[in-house]
């Protein structure tokens, strides 16, 4: 009888051990043995969509590619791509193709999750050099940028008139921005909505001649006189009620507050066009370059690339898919659909021609600062964002010092 009990116990234990030992979930051999198969593929594509417009445009383009290539291509918009991709990569079930934000790129590349397919890709030289730089890790170009966008100033023309302002009031410097905002506030309109993250407020740093990190991205340069000046300026706007964070306006992001007509101005990127057309078609606005700071004009640029998973089974087809998505023609059609700028040099001219209203975004691309691009920086940058969320009552210098301290540890310098 004891034997039976032992047998049962052993069986239960063995069951769990065998299951644990022979699990098929993890690909223990890493990326070296992934099967390369030619022919029709079943591609899974995960995108971080800026809205319904983008989702639909990418889905349509993918469907078109699928029908012409005989493969299947399923596009899934992720609600939170960092988290979903993180779980998928750890679960060895990553999508074949996915958006990679320049700010997160180094994290993925440094752990070997990305296939450096762009190295030898045909026509890779047509992409804008500074964007290519954003997706280079240890001298290897991993993926090609899907598009780019820059920050600019959006002005609600109806509210502008209501506040008794004219084109002459459009701010081109920090002083004018403050003066104009005061006039708007006097009319009981909230002047400016600005996102409470480094990706918006950082533009002011550039205008003041500073930035979070050194140009080579290897050193933290938070606590400088320029940056303190910039943050103190932004803090002043917040304190006087001349600028507000989106949450204070009951909005998920600044563009929503702008679209609802709650603010006269906002600072967002190209994506705001598509979002406004889709959600708030009646809003009338114009786009201007960001006001210049003490050290001249400055803005931020953003870009994402089409990453291919190192563990994808269909790398060949995935590369073909990316090529189709990044052709000059396709990029222009994406631009039309959701307002981003092409990442290819050979598409720039046509884009400018087709979108005269976007002069401000295009101009910004000339002097824009790219995102912080180093691995292990995400939690540091998230911490910086939480400092910026509390900027209104916080101490700008303390926020910057804290960033420096944390960034130094992460950058290993």
Q: Which of residues 282-321 bind another protein (CB under 8 A)?
A: none
Instruction: Work out which of 58, 62, 103, 113 binds another protein, going by CB under 8 A.
Output: 113
Stretch of residues binding another protein (CB under 8 A), selected from 16-24, 157-165, 180-188, 206-214: 16-24
Measuring CA to CA, which residue among 92, 114, 91, 154 is closest to residue 364? 154
Instruction: Work out which of 155, 228, 275, 347 binds another protein, going by CB under 8 A.
Output: 275
In angstroms, the CA 54 to CA 67 distance is 20
When asked if residue 93 is in the footprint of another protein (CB under 8 A), the reply is: yes
When asked if residue 248 is in the footprint of another protein (CB under 8 A), the reply is: yes
Instruction: Work out which of 5, 33, 38, 120 binds another protein, going by CB under 8 A.
Output: 5
When asked if residue 250 is in the footprint of another protein (CB under 8 A), the reply is: yes
Query: Tokens for 155?
Result: 């002005």
C-alpha dist (Å) from residue 117 to 190, 254, 316, 391: 48, 36, 9, 42
Query: For residues 124 and 346, is the Cβ–Cβ distance under 8 A?
Result: no
**C-alpha 53: how far from its chain's center?**
17
Instruction: Work out which of 57, 62, 75, 89 binds another protein, going by CB under 8 A.
Output: 89
Instruction: Work out which of 10, 15, 186, 218 binds another protein, going by CB under 8 A.
Output: 15
Instruction: Work out which of 96, 101, 107, 147 binds another protein, going by CB under 8 A.
Output: 107
Angular region, 200: left φ>0, alpha ψ -120 to 50, beta rest:
alpha
Instruction: Work out which of 14, 90, 186, 349 binds another protein, going by CB under 8 A.
Output: 90
Binding track over 177-196 against another protein, x by CB under 8 A: -------------------x
Cβ distance to another protein smaller for residue 37 or 92 = 92
Measuring CA to CA, which residue among 74, 146, 130, 126 is closest to residue 349? 126
Cβ distance to another protein smaller for residue 324 or 388 = 388
Q: Which of residues 369-408 bind another protein (CB under 8 A)?
A: 378-380, 383, 386-387, 389-390, 393, 406
Cβ distance to another protein smaller for residue 97 or 165 = 97
Stretch of residues binding another protein (CB under 8 A), selected from 149-157, 273-281, 318-326, 354-362: 273-281
Helix, strand counts (H, E) of the chain: 17, 12
When asked if residue 252 is in the footprint of another protein (CB under 8 A), the reply is: yes
Stretch of residues binding another protein (CB under 8 A), selected from 26-34, 211-219, 326-334, 345-353: 26-34
Q: How does DSSP assign 66-84, residue by residue? A: HHHHT-EEEEEE-SSHHHH
**Residue showing tokens 């938070």:** 222
Cβ distance to another protein smaller for residue 115 or 289 = 115
Strands 136-137 and 144-156: unpaired
When asked if residue 251 is in the footprint of another protein (CB under 8 A), the reply is: yes
Instruction: Work out which of 111, 186, 225, 349 binds another protein, going by CB under 8 A.
Output: 111
In angstroms, the CA 218 to CA 377 distance is 11
Q: How does DSSP assign 247-314, residue by residue? A: GGGT-SSHHHHHHTT-EEEEEEETHHHHHHHHH-TT--EEEEPPPBBTTB--EEEEEEEEEEBTT-S-
- Crossing angle of helices 345-354 and 359-367, in 10° steps, is 150
Cβ distance to another protein smaller for residue 87 or 119 = 87
Strands 285-288 and 144-156: antiparallel
Residues that bind another protein (CB under 8 A): 1-2, 4-5, 8-9, 12, 15-16, 19-20, 23-28, 30, 49-52, 54, 76, 79-80, 82-84, 86-93, 107, 111-113, 196, 245, 247-253, 256, 259, 275, 278-279, 378-380, 383, 386-387, 389-390, 393, 406, 409-410
């Amino acid at each position: 009888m004891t034997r039976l009990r032992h047998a049962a116990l052993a069986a239960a234990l063995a069951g769990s051990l065998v299951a644990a030992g022979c699990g098929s979930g993890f690909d223990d051999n890493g990326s070296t043995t992934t099967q390369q198969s030619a022919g029709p593929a079943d591609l899974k594509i995960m995108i971080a969509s800026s809205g319904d417009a983008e989702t639909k445009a990418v889905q349509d383009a993918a469907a078109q590619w699928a029908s012409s290539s005989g493969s299947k291509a399923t596009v899934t918009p992720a609600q939170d791509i960092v988290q979903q991709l993180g779980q998928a990569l750890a679960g060895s079930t990553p999508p074949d193709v996915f958006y990679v934000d320049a700010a997160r790129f180094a994290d993925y590349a440094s752990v070997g999750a990305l296939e450096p397919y762009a190295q030898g890709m045909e026509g890779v030289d047509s992409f804008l050099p500074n964007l290519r730089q954003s997706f280079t890790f240890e001298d290897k170009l991993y993926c090609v940028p899907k598009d780019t966008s820059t920050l600019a100033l959006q002005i609600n023309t109806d509210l502008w008139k209501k506040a008794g302002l004219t084109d002459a009031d459009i701010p081109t410097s920090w002083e004018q921005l403050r003066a104009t905002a005061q006039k708007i506030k006097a009319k009981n309109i909230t002047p400016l909505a600005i996102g409470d993250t480094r990706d918006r407020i950082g533009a002011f740093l550039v205008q003041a001649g500073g930035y979070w990190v050194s140009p080579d991205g290897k050193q933290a340069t938070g606590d400088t006189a320029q940056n303190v000046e910039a943050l103190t300026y932004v803090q002043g706007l917040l304190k006087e009620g001349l600028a507000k964070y989106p949450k204070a306006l009951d909005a998920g992001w600044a563009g929503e507050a702008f679209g609802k007509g709650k603010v006269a101005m906002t600072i967002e990127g190209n994506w705001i066009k598509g979002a406004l057309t889709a959600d708030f078609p009646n809003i009338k606005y114009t786009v201007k370059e960001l006001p210049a700071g003490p050290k001249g004009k400055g803005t931020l640029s953003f870009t994402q690339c089409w990453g291919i998973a190192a563990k994808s089974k269909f790398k060949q087809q995935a590369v073909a898919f990316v090529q189709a998505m990044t052709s000059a023609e396709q990029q222009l059609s994406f631009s039309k659909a959701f307002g981003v700028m092409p990442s290819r040099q050979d598409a720039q001219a046509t884009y400018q021609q087709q979108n005269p209203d976007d002069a401000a975004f295009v101009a910004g691309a000339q002097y824009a600062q790219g995102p912080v691009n180093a691995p292990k920086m995400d939690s540091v940058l998230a911490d910086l964002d939480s400092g910026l969320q509390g900027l209104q009552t916080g101490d700008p210098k303390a926020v910057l010092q804290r960033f420096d301290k944390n960034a130094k540890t992460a950058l290993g310098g």
